Structure 1
């Protein structure tokens, strides 16, 4: 297993302190604040630990309240709101330094049959047709600004293959949409709860940047203050995150210092496994 994947699995394996109370730590990667996807995934894991295994998560809604401090643990307090015949509801509060940094509401459902339809996957080149690994890194490093080069050379548990890399090299205003193939860089097994948690982790990646395309800007620009504000996710069908997934994103609006981005995650076979929506702060620095 890739070292960064092993580190991610350890990060998601929360310590049980007491009934409904869990502790999570952050990997030592030198970040100034905790990656939002990590907090989402850890909060989901805390909720999962209080729900029967035969009730997988079907939706979550989270709010980022304060920046997370990677130097100290995060305490996750789970509140058992409802245990019904079909649905289970949990609220999780992530706490550091005596204050909430993130809140999550999650709903779980026993598996059942029902009506079934989905939108079609966008017609884009597959991951095998795109630059990968060192070739992709070389392409980006050759022309990209320093902040983007540092981002792409950082070890991570997730592999990206963007369909287009144009936004890394230009300040031209572009249509606010992008398509990225993503997968985990190591085998993590078929456990549905873990695959859902890792999917939640990677779902926070690249979304905020899409909302800046229409303005010729990037989250790497020193003149932009960028941060996730909230995050919603719906889990439609089972998923294996070690297989390639197409993350199709578009940003329908930005206003008031905020940008909204929507995302759809498809398997290579075109099966829609999850939908995402996120609003983020994209405020020009004065």
Structure 2
């Protein structure tokens, strides 16, 4: 939970771009995950967490976003094509279990409880922020959420964070926050915009994007202190984990990752693969 500057994330280009990157040779067999041997990289995503992954317009069939471009770059590096399996956030890891996809890439943070069952490669720094309607003088901090309605995306790590906050309210004899879960991040933000909820907590990248898309209607009055990481989740396999990490490191080493960050107006210092900053 962090009190640092928030990334101002806003999509500046539409559609999937083809960058004029210098062509590189095919990856070595040892650097190609076993799950793409058939030439397809299947990715589970919720598809509505801009600027990480989203549909730019209603009815669009092609996903865009920072993590979509990362997935596409990894697939090209492995000589594969991407296939996106889109569903509710809370169903993404179960879909990985059932082998409907090879990886979950969906603005999902690295969590110890998730690592008990899955491999996770952290690669992008972010932080949790509280979002409220612009002009609201309260709440300003999570402690101000006592007795207020708080919207939260179902299946995310924000649910236990808010449950722990309610436990502190109960212990102090204060009214608990009324938690209202919704199936998508977009639905959560809508509750703030229409006044059905006083606040939500989310990640700074998507909060900044939503603020840019709705000028003057949202604010981020509070940032938690601890650093968070977006991660790529896989079924447990040491070889596959090493191959995905090597793929990310290759994107960082030759500048392709920086091109993608620049495209989506994200901080060039945001990428830390397994918590290690680029040198």
Greater strand fraction, Structure 1 or Structure 2: 1
Give TM-score scaled by structure 1 length: 0.26
| Higher relative contact order (Cα pairs below 8 Å, separated by 6+ residues) | 2
Q: TM-score, normalised by structure 2?
A: 0.26
Q: Determine which structure has the larger helix proportion and give its number.
A: 2
